[in-house]
């Protein structure tokens, strides 16, 4: 919902498979203001939600937009969404780029801690993804192969896996465990 303001940006700018002009980029920046307007007009009064949408492009060092807030001046959800938004954008397919792997994405994020991202929230993101981020292809002890679709907070060694058309929760399937990382595989439906 943080990006809902993009509905007011022309599609040819939003999906342009090229570098945007500075005028176009200035236009896109307004999506955070449009988001506030749209959310408020639809009856959402929770300030945390409004501020999250409004501040998701602020950066920890003050180099973001639209208010150039820094550090803890940026609301809690503004700082969380800044991380989630970049993680999602980099691991997704876009008209101008292929999806990045979780490792490459986390490397990028770690290189920008204290610049773009809150250090504590970044640490939490890394901890929550663990060794088996969504999208990774793994082999189990029974020889089957599956793709990680979600992490289990209670045990990061026991994620939820899609094997063929079945969803398997390794926390519940006590006899199954991951024996090998096969590859990272991009999952189309994750980003639609």
For residues 93 and 6, give the distance between their C-alpha atoms in angstroms, rounded to a whole number.
Answer: 18
What are residue 137's phi and psi, to 5 degrees? Answer: -95, 130
For residues 61 and 71, give the distance between their C-alpha atoms in angstroms, rounded to a whole number.
Answer: 6
Pairing of strands 160-163, 145-150: antiparallel
Cα–Cα–Cα angle for 88, 92, 95, rounded to 5 degrees = 130
If binding is defined by CB under 5 A, does position 55 make contact with Fe ion? no
Q: Residue 56 Cβ, how far from Fe ion at the closest point, in Å?
A: 6
Contacts 24+ apart (CB under 8 A), 24-30: 29/57, 29/65, 29/66, 30/5, 30/66
**Nearest CB to Fe ion, comparing residues 3 and 51:** 3
**Nearest CB to Fe ion, comparing residues 3 and 58:** 3
**Nearest CB to Fe ion, comparing residues 3 and 118:** 3
C-beta nearest to Fe ion: residue: 3
If binding is defined by CB under 5 A, does position 58 make contact with Fe ion? no
Q: Residue 33 Cβ, how far from Fe ion at the closest point, in Å?
A: 11
Q: Residue 45 Cβ, how far from Fe ion at the closest point, in Å?
A: 21
If binding is defined by CB under 5 A, does position 3 make contact with Fe ion? yes
**Nearest CB to Fe ion, comparing residues 105 and 151:** 105
Q: Which residues bind Fe ion (CB under 5 A)?
A: 3
């Amino acid at each position: 919902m943080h990006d809902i303001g993009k509905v007011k940006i022309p599609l040819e700018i939003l999906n342009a498979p090229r570098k945007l002009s500075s005028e176009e980029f200035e236009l896109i920046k307004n999506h955070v203001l449009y988001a506030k307007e749209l959310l408020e007009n639809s009856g959402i009064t929770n300030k945390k939600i409004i501020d999250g949408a409004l501040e998701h492009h602020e950066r920890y060092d003050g180099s973001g937009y639209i208010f150039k807030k820094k550090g803890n001046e940026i609301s809690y959800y503004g700082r969380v969404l800044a991380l989630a938004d970049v993680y999602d954008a980099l691991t997704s397919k876009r008209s101008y780029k292929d999806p990045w792997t979780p490792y490459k994405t986390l490397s990028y994020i770690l290189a920008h801690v204290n610049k773009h991202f809150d250090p504590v929230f970044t640490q939490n993101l890394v901890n929550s993804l663990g060794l088996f981020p969504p999208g990774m292809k793994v082999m189990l002890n029974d020889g089957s192969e599956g793709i990680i679709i979600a992490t289990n907070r209670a045990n990061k060694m026991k994620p939820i896996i899609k094997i063929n058309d079945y969803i398997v929760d390794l926390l519940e399937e006590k006899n199954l465990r991951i024996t090998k990382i096969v590859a990272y595989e991009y999952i189309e439906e994750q980003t639609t």
